Structure 1
Amino acid sequence: MQTKNTFIYDLISGLTVSFAALSLGAAFGTMSGRGAFAGMIGAAIIPLVTSTFGGTRIQASGPTAPMTAVSALVVAFAYEHFPDKTLAEQFITLIFLLNAAMLILTGLLRLGKLIRFVPQVIILGFMNGIGLLIWADQIKRLFGLGDKTQISGSLTTNIVVAGITLGTIYLIPHILKWIGLPERIRKFVPSMFITIILGTIVTTAIQVDVEHVSLGNTVGSFGEFVAMLKNYFPSSSELLTSENLKLALPYALQLTLLAYLDSLLTSLVIDKMTGEKTKQEQELIAQGMANGASALLQGIPGAQATIRSVLLLKEGAKTRLAGVLVGFFALLGFLVFSHYITLITSAVFVGVLFKAGLDVIDRDFMKAYIKNKWSADKNRNLQLIFIIYSTLVTILWDLNIAVVTGTLFFFIAKKYVNMVDAEEEFEIVESDEISG
């Protein structure tokens, strides 16, 4: 129930998280190849829908690093397969709409309960793979490797800007603590948003000759926006063929599996914090509705975002309104500040995406493995093998194959060698406890 006190908490937490949502949305939009415009649309529209209709009462959904990694593959394939921009954009929209339909279908078929069958070791591995793919993608952009066009300007300057951006995001909380800013104020300071602003001010002031962020599908008026939506809606008879649908389905399936895992795993984390229980089918249907709305508005798809959802709770969110306000403030920021996005250098977003990649990669298992001397434990070694397997298959082959085959092999190992899955959290045992 909404009261004056809960509204204030929801307002503050929603505003705080919206800074991270909009910053990441622009960065993820750039990474996807669709432009910052598409990412910011997703950052605004998705939380508005999921927080209103989702099965997790308090949450913050939007474009995520894993979803964007696959979206980037979709955009790259579309423009390679369809030289005509309109057809390419229609194909992208088609895949995103298929993803939305599949998510809604998984909810209607009550498939949310299957999340408990995916082993933790496989989840850790594929998340590591996604994080490493993000790093590889940004390194390719910096150096112009593979099929990536190199970010224009001085290579050295771009590397320095990206590195300083990454370091500053981590340093800001420590600097604020060092200058004596009270914790009750520090926790509301969005270090990523501030880093982007500082980086933009500095590079603009000294007139660094490097590439700046592209908005992508920009429009000058509401009429132009509506015309763009009609133009890029997948309605061309040339596009809607059985052959093109066969090309689209594997990508839509990848996005669906990823949104399923991303959203429901995050919901488990949030449920532990709140003591509530997510209505999984309702959550999947809401995520599908949100991704469908984002696709129709030329945005990119997303899922329930772990870090943003946890941050929303830690900032004191009390009701669904908090998540809705994340979307509202992100939309307001998009409408007011979108024209200033082009002042941001591309290398700044590379640094932001390096941070996003690090956030996805799990480091707790390896820390515990080394410090607890698990190398002598047969079961821990098997867990490590499965993590490495799903990481490598995700990077070198396919996310779906990593999850499906990894899960299958795990249950075979569980049956024949009594393998036990990894915990969700790992304790570091002191050396004297190990020896004793």
Structure 2
Amino acid sequence: MMRVKRNILSLLPNRSDYSGLKKTWRADLVAGITVGIVALPLALAFGVSSGAGAEAGLITAIVAGLVAAVFGGSNVQVSGPTGAMVVVLAPIVASHGIAAVATVSVMAGIIVVIAGALRLGRTVSYIPWPVIEGFTVGIGVIIFMQQVPSAVGFNAETSGATTLSSNAIVAAWQSAAAVAWPAALLPLAAVLVVAIIMIALSRISGKLPASFIAIVVVTLAVIALRLPLDAIGELPTSLPAPSMPPMDLAVITSLMGPALAVAALAAIESLLSARVAASMADTGPVNSDRELVGQGLASLASGFFGGMPATGAIARTAVNVRSGAKTRASAIVHALALLIVVYAAAGVVALIPLAALAGVLMVTATRMISLSVVRRVLRSTRADAIVFIVTAVITVSFDLIVAVGIGIAAAAFFTLRRMSLDAGVQREPLPGTPAPGDDRIALFRIDGSLFFAAAERILDEINDQRGVEVVVLRLSQVRQLDATGAHTLAELVTALERRGVTVLIKGVREPHLRLLEAIGAIGSLRHPNHLFGELDDAIAHARSHVTRSDERGATPGAQAGA
């Protein structure tokens, strides 16, 4: 009972979360305000890009950001809408409508909370690095392409087009072909100005809120010059009252697949972000299971307020750490700063041009793709390079979660292939002084892993031996053994014994012995005494078999004694 209580308490907020706040509150306050300034344009842009609207992005950054900061397992993680989540949400909005976003957020939140309660926080470590980098590159490409319609001023009503393809690359091509040129040069100019300002300021100082400054400059220029650019439009001047989104059985059934995909992404991205944050500065340990519970509750709360699913945001978390954040109070301040924007500056924010937000996301997407990392992956091993490329291509072409699944499957295939190739069998000379009849004894050493991917190939090499009366199998170098390997070994022993060949087994490890007994490999031996712990004893017994055979004048393999 006490252990259960400790496990539950470890998933909940506690006083130690703020133990150093008396000394760090100034640094946390400055970091929180800085992150809030950086998060504002990103929250608006991700909301617009997902199809749920700028309001949903802002609500998510406030509500989910606050809940995740309080309940999450990282002291410096900043949560909210992210580019990866936009990639998953955009097709959901296209297929099920905007109302489905809040429902999916609640469903995904419940799933992630359950994952945390079941202690699944460490499963992210099973995702190979090439898979992570592959879908990161794919996400970057998709986010960039998703901004092309806004960057060229595409409007479905005025262009005569009704819908764009759900594939970001195809939609980018359709929008570029449908707009009126050269009128599209004006929003493109706004995108270019935003990009230039962001890149220039980042080179001057990494601490400047480059995206915020770029948005302010372009918005003021558009207002002053009265340029005809589409803006965000009216935003609420307060948070909406929480309410339960549609959750009837038909809705839940139709959205279960998308909710599982969103939950998987939320868990993966949040845990990866928390891991990155922990590596950037000494800000305390990360409780992976509590992080899942916190992120799940964040998406749950966001859905109640009409927001989007949330995840830990690597870029905003990095800004938080670099700005000097020490405790989770900084992430709380970030959410409160955005809340002030809603109540005090919604009218001003509504004037921001969509093209400016597109520019921010295009630069953000470009920075997600590190050419140096891509080169390192491609230069590593052929298998890892293939996994990376396959994951990236499938992410762009089909679906992020499908890409991760296929990427993991491809990585597992290549890993099993390497393990199976590392496994092998060697025929060794008999130890000690040579004795008459040694040529009728075969000593085989099996190395590596005797599992389903390698068992049949390895044991076929032994079964193909001819002209021997006794086979000694050395299993002391077998590191891994599964049921398939044990079953195949039992079949080998049975096949050899039927041919009159005596099989002796030496050096079985204790965990493997239980499996071999359960599968029947040990029972397939001609006599219980044919299982040995020492090689010298096994060879002596093999030679005694050959000697007795010669004394009796029997044909090879004819005797049936122990």
Fold similarity call, TM over 0.5: yes
State which drifts further: 357-366 or 251-260.
357-366
- Indicate which of 193, 198, 206 corresponds to 1:169: 198
Amino acid at match of 1:136: M
Residues 30 and 214 of structure 1 are in contact (CA less than 8 Å); yes or no, is this contact kept in structure 2? no
Residues 187 and 315 of structure 1 are in contact (CA less than 8 Å); yes or no, is this contact kept in structure 2? no
Q: Match of 1:354? A: 362
Amino acid at match of 1:334: V
Q: Match of 1:116? A: 125
Residues 35 and 214 of structure 1 are in contact (CA less than 8 Å); yes or no, is this contact kept in structure 2? no
Pairing 1:261-280 to 2, within 5 Å after superposition:
261-275=268-282, 276-280=284-288
Taking every aligned residue pair, what percent have the same amino acid on both sides?
26
Structure 1: tracts of 5 or more residues without a match: 80-87, 178-185, 420-436
Q: Match of 2:219? A: 200
- Indicate which of 335, 346, 353 corresponds to 1:338: 346
**2:89 is the alignment partner of 1:77:** no
- Indicate which of 188, 194, 210 corresponds to 1:191: 210
**2:292 is the alignment partner of 1:284:** yes
Instruction: Report deviation, 1:282.
Output: 0.6
State which drifts further: 146-155 or 397-406.
146-155
Separation in 2, partners of 1:170, 1:162:
12
**2:51 is the alignment partner of 1:33:** yes
Q: Match of 1:253? A: 260
- Indicate which of 52, 55, 76 corresponds to 1:58: 76
Pairing 1:14-413 to 2, within 5 Å after superposition:
14-79=32-97, 89=99, 91-143=100-152, 144=154, 146-147=164-165, 154-174=183-203, 177=204, 186=205, 188-215=207-234, 218-219=235-236, 225-226=240-241, 230=243, 233-234=245-246, 240-242=248-250, 244-275=251-282, 276-368=284-376, 374=379, 379-413=380-414
3-state secondary structure, aligned to 1:343 = coil
Separation in 2, partners of 1:307, 1:403:
21
Q: Tell me which protein shows more strand as a share of its residues.
A: 2
Q: Deviations over 1:348-376 (max 9, x none)?
A: 01101102212332422234468xxx3xx
Separation in 2, partners of 1:57, 1:330:
20
Q: Tell me which protein shows more helix as a share of its residues.
A: 1
Instruction: Report deviation, 1:283.
Output: 0.4
Q: Match of 1:414? A: 415
Separation in 2, partners of 1:292, 1:29:
17
3-state secondary structure, aligned to 2:381 = helix
Residues 83 and 143 of structure 2 are in contact (CA less than 8 Å); yes or no, is this contact kept in structure 1? yes
Q: Deviations over 1:382-407 (max 9, x none)?
A: 22211110011111122222112211
Residues 237 and 344 of structure 2 are in contact (CA less than 8 Å); yes or no, is this contact kept in structure 1? no
Structure 2: tracts of 5 or more residues without a match: 1-18, 155-162, 166-170, 421-562
Aligned-residue Cα RMSD (Å) equals 2.4
Amino acid at match of 2:308: I
Aligned length: 381
Instruction: Report deviation, 1:13.
Output: 0.6
Higher relative contact order (CA 8 A, sep 6+): 1
Separation in 1, partners of 2:122, 2:238:
45
Q: Larger Rg: 1 or 2?
A: 2
Change (3 A) 1:196 1:103: same
Instruction: Report deviation, 1:409.
Output: 1.8
Instruction: Report deviation, 1:269.
Output: 1.1
Change (3 A) 1:187 1:406: closer
Residues 128 and 408 of structure 2 are in contact (CA less than 8 Å); yes or no, is this contact kept in structure 1? yes
Amino acid at match of 1:168: I
Residues 25 and 40 of structure 1 are in contact (CA less than 8 Å); yes or no, is this contact kept in structure 2? yes
Instruction: Report deviation, 1:162.
Output: 1.1
Instruction: Report deviation, 1:219.
Output: 4.5
Residues 109 and 296 of structure 2 are in contact (CA less than 8 Å); yes or no, is this contact kept in structure 1? yes
Instruction: Report deviation, 1:202.
Output: 0.5
